[in-house]
Amino acid sequence: MQHFDKIYARASTRKGGDTVLEALLAPMREKINLTKLNDADVLAEMTACIFRAGFVWRVITAKWPGFEKAFHEFDVMRCAMMSDEEIEELSRNTDIVRHGTKIASVRANALYILDIRAQYGSYGRFMEQWPESDFIGLWAHMKQHGTRLGGQTGRYCLRFLGYDSPILSRDVVAALIGAGVVDKDPTSKKDLLATQAAFNAWREQSGRSAREISRLLALSVG
């Protein structure tokens, strides 16, 4: 596995020097207090990521006011209590994207958030206590206990909420392969563990967050 310094040097060369590279990394350095997240904001982000998956993101953005109205401003209790009839009615609502299983996922994920709230007080507090050295464990938790939150959907959701999670984009995967971490897109448990170990090592070597490292990997090849 390559040392972080080699990855950084390659990214710096590709982007025109350390100054330019650091400017590109600057937005990734903000530390968010996850305990201050409102559960409604968490459910909204889960929903946005689910509906954007496999769809044109700007369409979801344009329709977002309709989503907020349809799902009661993402009040978790109200969404958890939606009836089958209400979900069926929403599948005909032209103010949102009419995708039945994605619409139903809002209720399911509201129930998921309520389960977490009962144990930790809020979903944000739950994320705050999850070790950053085990982001793949949180990915697995969201996939197992949430609905339609596996793969890149869950990773984008965590990133947008402020948890220090990498995004395994095409460029990041290419960089992981080039660094000798994996030999293909890491989907197996073995490859995911290798990816986690690599990020943990690079964090120790650099003092940087997983978000910065993920961005650097992408910039080193793309």
Alpha-carbon span 118 to 115, nearest angstrom? 5
> Per residue in 60-105, pLDDT tens?
999 999 999 999 999 999 999 999 999 999 999 999 999 999 999 9
The yes-or-no verdict on residue 222 having pLDDT over 80 is no
Alpha-carbon span 35 to 124, nearest angstrom? 5
CATH of domain 34-161: 1.10.340.30
The yes-or-no verdict on residue 162 having pLDDT over 90 is yes
Q: Where does the chain hold its CATH 1.10.340.30 domain(s)?
A: 34-161
Alpha-carbon span 163 to 116, nearest angstrom? 16
> Per residue in 167-199, pLDDT tens?
999 999 999 999 999 999 999 999 999 999 999
